[in-house]
């Protein structure tokens, strides 16, 4: 039987001399919190990829932005179907959301939350769903149950209250505001484009020197983050990546205590490198989604190290 083109780093020596895209001394967390956030995997991702940086760093599933903000490529084109996430980062970019404005907002709204409790959380949630804005969005994602970001079929934020009326203590506000200030400083120093659009359109606009990092919702887990994500769409994404004209890395799950990800049988005949990382999810709507997971980073062989 011939050896599969998919290899683990331990069994492949072809990339030992390649430099990682970045060595990160300290990982920082972005101001937006959502399930599937890659903060704890960012160093692993950065040190697994070799890329010259001549083109753009492309992310068709930006999510929280943890990977982008810690790797810090000079140029980037990043997108997400969640308009609220993209709006936050564009409004930080154009000055509509500033650290001081957010500090004042969270202090004021936090005082009302402390006085009125759960009733006020649902008032803000309804206000946001009727007239979305970045300030309410950050408030909700930081005071909802377990840091889950979830929208129903009508596009309404529907996560319940975390039941902590004193959520916005001064230290917590300062932490969030410092994250906004950090992201603001990075955006000023780099050429980054934030776009709301479908992943297929984003991938259709890549060039040969670009590098794509794809972190789609994991089918079967957290699929109501914003839009449903099916096994069929997951397979369509993989087909796109295997035929793309630039380097790529795909974050997905390898196995958990119940089963192995079936996509690894489907891509077994392609020249890819698979790296694994044990990870425990602390963010999720229930204990079912907060278990140990072996993560996988699937990289085209030319850009793996």
Which range is least confidently modeled, 141-155, 200-214, 222-236? 222-236
Q: Do 70 and 45 meet the contact criterion of CB atoms below 8 Å apart?
A: no
The answer, yes or no, to whether residue 69 has pLDDT greater than 90, is: yes
Lowest mean pLDDT among 46-55, 117-126, 238-247, 255-264: 255-264
Q: Mean pLDDT lowest for which of 36-40, 183-187, 206-210? A: 36-40
Q: DSSP H helical segments within the chain, as ranges? A: 42-48, 66-71, 83-93, 99-116, 118-130, 134-143, 170-189, 199-203, 231-242, 263-266
- 251 strand-pairing partners: 297
For residue 107, give the 3-state DSSP assignment.
helix
Mean pLDDT, rounded, for 163-171: 96
Residue among 7, 65, 75 nearest 37 (CA): 65
* Whether the Cβ atoms of residue 37 and residue 70 lie closer than 8 Å to each other: no
CA angle 242, 244, 248 (to 5 degrees): 75
Domains of the chain: 7-81+197-303 (3.40.50.150), 99-177 (1.10.1020.10)
Name the band, by pLDDT with cuts 50, 70 and 90, for residue 167.
Answer: very high
Q: Can you tell me the distance from the alpha carbon of 189 to that of 26, in angstroms, rounded to the nearest whole number?
A: 19
Per residue in 11-45, pLDDT (tens digit) is: 445 555 788 898 898 999 999 988 778 888 999 99
Q: What is the pLDDT of residue 256?
A: 79
């Amino acid at each position: 039987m011939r050896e599969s083109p998919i290899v683990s780093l331990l069994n492949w020596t072809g990339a030992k001399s390649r430099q990682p895209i970045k060595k990160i001394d300290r990982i920082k967390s972005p101001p937006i919190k959502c399930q599937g956030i890659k903060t704890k995997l960012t160093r692993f991702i950065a040190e697994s990829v070799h890329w010259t940086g001549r083109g753009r760093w492309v992310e068709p599933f930006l999510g929280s932005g943890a990977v982008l903000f810690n790797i810090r490529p000079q140029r980037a084109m990043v997108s997400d179907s969640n308009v609220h996430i993209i709006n936050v980062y564009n409004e930080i970019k154009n000055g509509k959301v500033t650290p001081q404005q957010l500090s004042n907002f969270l202090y004021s709204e936090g005082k009302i939350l402390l006085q009125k409790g759960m009733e006020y959380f649902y008032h803000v949630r309804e206000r946001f769903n009727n007239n979305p804005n970045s300030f309410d969005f950050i408030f909700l994602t930081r005071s909802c149950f377990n840091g889950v970001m979830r929208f129903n079929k009508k596009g309404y934020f529907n996560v319940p209250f975390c039941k902590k009326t004193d959520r916005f203590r001064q230290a917590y506000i300062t932490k969030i505001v410092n994250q906004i200030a950090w992201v603001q400083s990075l955006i000023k120093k780099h050429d980054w484009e934030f776009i709301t659009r479908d992943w297929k359109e984003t991938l259709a606009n890549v060039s040969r020197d670009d590098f794509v990092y794809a972190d789609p919702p994991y089918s079967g887990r957290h699929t109501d983050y914003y839009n449903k994500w099916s096994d069929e769409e997951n397979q369509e994404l993989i087909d796109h990546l295997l035929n793309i004209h630039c380097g790529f890395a795909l974050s997905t799950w390898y196995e958990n205590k119940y089963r192995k990800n079936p996509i690894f049988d489907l891509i077994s005949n392609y020249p890819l490198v698979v790296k694994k990382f044990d990870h425990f999810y602390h963010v999720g709507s229930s204990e079912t989604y907060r278990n140990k997971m072996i993560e996988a980073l699937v990289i085209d062989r030319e850009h793996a190290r």
